[in-house]
A and B are shown apart, each in its own frame.
Chain A
């Protein structure tokens, strides 16, 4: 800990601390997922927790995504507070029926009788040369579904805090975590903990343009904004954080100030979160715009294995800089 009461912590350790804190606070909380126990978590996130909490609360499950996500939903219906870990978002399609048809519908379909307070964590993100089947960005799929709350932990603060708040929520919450960030260190207050899960957040204040992003785009947008600053462009960076329900107010307030919006994400461009945010800007604050809203999304190809092609498939800080300069007619 330094003099300001902050700690240097990896993204992995931030998630682990959140899980540990949640488990200590509430006996109803348990973690279930593939390889979360004896293996220590596919990404070593839950390493040591089995020894600390025992196999009843750190449950290894078989490769049955529909089965154990459904079981998590059932346990939540029946008084428990399960944290279900789907190793990566890529496997979550096998559990999509459970999430869409059970978790998301039961409260409304039962006329308000049945709450499903399940938290489902999924590792995701592109950039580790895992090729097409292991490089999906399914945030927009889940953000499409009423009844779910969909969170994206693009920062260490959210990796540390979102889970704790999600576990207080009466409704099903999905948290996306970004595996390429796991080893990345950042400073967090020593007393970091639960965070709000209803609002987007302005991570960098600026006046010239709003760069609106989430998840894998957050640190890239901040890097780009720092570089832009050195050439005299003052970009505001917004982390959407909550992909459903979308926090329009924070987006609109920013764009009303900067009058320009660039939306950045790694998911394929057609029908992604940026499409939705863009439409809402047009519908609500069109006359505030000094330039057309622009988007930088994933190139619409199955993500390829070679590093240079993988890099070319998703927006990079350099792409953000080029786009911003063009929007501001900087050159």
Chain B
């Protein structure tokens, strides 16, 4: 039986789709702000890459997917995981390294997995997962299923050989893979003009015969619209699609980044296009929502995030005796 997709819902004000989108973006934002705070308290360690500013991309794209579809993401994937319906507590516990985490605490922030939600990472070698996504889509085609494999990556990945290998294979084999480029203009600290001879990433799709579209990644409604068109096309044709979402990361690359490579004024300029503020203003203007209702959503999210933190805090450490468990399938006890 088909499982129902459990995207988090704003229980207070259901039905209004705009409010759902707002809620989902706000949930990602608040969850990540909390994560940053917990990082400074040393509750979360290792690398932590925040998605703040880019929420419209994951939110818009996810509207077009079903739970039968596969999703692969990067190491900046908390938002994708949340919207895929992985419990916020299990994600937070994963970042704490607790065994109640969605990867048993083994992966941390960069390696969120949930096989039941068909969420395949959490991949931290840039562009490596593109080839895997093509293979998953190939399997889908061989099994004659009508599902999509959706693969998120940054524009930095488009400079890797694997991007080009994956694009070529996807088109050559005609498989239902959806490449979603989150172009945030910086590969860590290297601006796109220093890493790409052609900065319009969307020009690279047609070179492989892949239908391609570029969209304003700061506008969730525009992303959603483009996403639905893309997903419909993939489902109808079984062919790959390339969607480039131009976006911007408001915060540093990771918690170790002093942001020496960009001007504060540039960041401030992009913040004026904040996808959350933009949607809030639109909904207020159209009187689809009141400030009170926004406050209520905020409160609900605050509680959810707090609950996730409490779940992570209450979590337990995997016993050291289990260190070798799952290196091989027979090491399961």
Residues of chain A having any CB pair with chain B under 8 Å: 30, 56, 61-62, 64, 66-80, 82, 97-98, 101-102, 107-115, 146-147, 149, 169-171, 245
Contacts and interface: CB of A to CB of B under 8 A. Distances in A.
Interface in B118-138: 120-121, 123, 125, 128-138
B136 A101 contact: no
A111 B112 CA distance: 10
Nearest to A64: B165
A109 B132 contact: no
Interface stretch (B57-65, B286-294, B321-329): B321-329
A110 B113 contact: yes
B70 A66 contact: no
Nearest to A95: B131
Contact of A71 (B105, B113, B134, B328): B134
Interface residues of B, number: 46
Contact of A112 (B165, B168, B169, B326): B326
The 5 A-B pairs with the shortest beta carbon distances in the complex, nearest first, are A74-B135, A70-B131, A111-B104, A67-B165, A71-B135
A68 B103 contact: no
A98 B131 contact: yes
A110 B108 CA distance: 10
17 contacts: A62-B165, A66-B131, A66-B165, A67-B162, A70-B130, A70-B165, A70-B166, A73-B132, A78-B135, A78-B139, A80-B142, A82-B135, A97-B128, A98-B131, A102-B132, A115-B329, A171-B328
Contact of B103 (A66, A71, A98, A113): A113
Given A61-B169, A78-B135, 14 more contacts: A62-B169, A68-B131, A74-B132, A74-B136, A77-B132, A79-B143, A102-B123, A102-B129, A108-B106, A111-B99, A111-B326, A112-B326, A147-B327, A171-B328
A67 B160 CA distance: 11
Contact of B329 (A74, A79, A107): A107
A76 B143 CA distance: 12
A103 to B, nearest CB: 10
A67 B329 contact: no
Contact of A170 (B111, B128, B137, B329): B329
Contacts of A72: 135
B113 A114 contact: yes
A71 B114 contact: no
Contact of A75 (B105, B123, B136, B168): B136
Contacts of A170: 329
Contact of A108 (B168, B172, B326): B326
Nearest to A94: B161
A111 B103 contact: yes
Nearest to A101: B125
Contact of A111 (B106, B130, B137, B139): B106
A73 B104 CA distance: 22
B265 interface: no
Contacts of B103: 109-111, 113
Contacts of B138: 71, 74-75, 80
Contacts of B168: 62, 64, 67
A55 B111 CA distance: 36
A197 B168 CA distance: 36
B258 interface: no
A245 B135 CA distance: 27
A77 B121 CA distance: 12
Nearest to B328: A171
B320 interface: no
B115 interface: yes
Interface in B147-173: 149, 161-162, 165-166, 168-169, 172
Given A68-B169, A110-B107, A110-B113, A74 B134 contact: yes
Given A72-B135, A77-B136, A115-B329, A67 B166 contact: yes
Contacts of B143: 78-80
A109 B102 CA distance: 10
Contacts of A73: 131-132, 135
Interface in B237-260: none
B332 interface: yes
B140 interface: yes
A71 B131 contact: yes
B133 A74 contact: yes
Given A67-B131, A149-B328, A109 B136 contact: no
B169 A67 contact: yes
Contacts of B326: 107-108, 111-112
A97 B125 contact: yes
* Candidate in A74, A82, A169 with the most chain B CB atoms within 10 angstroms: A74
A71 B332 CA distance: 27
Interface string B83-110: 0000000000000000101111111000
Nearest to A170: B329
A98 B128 contact: yes
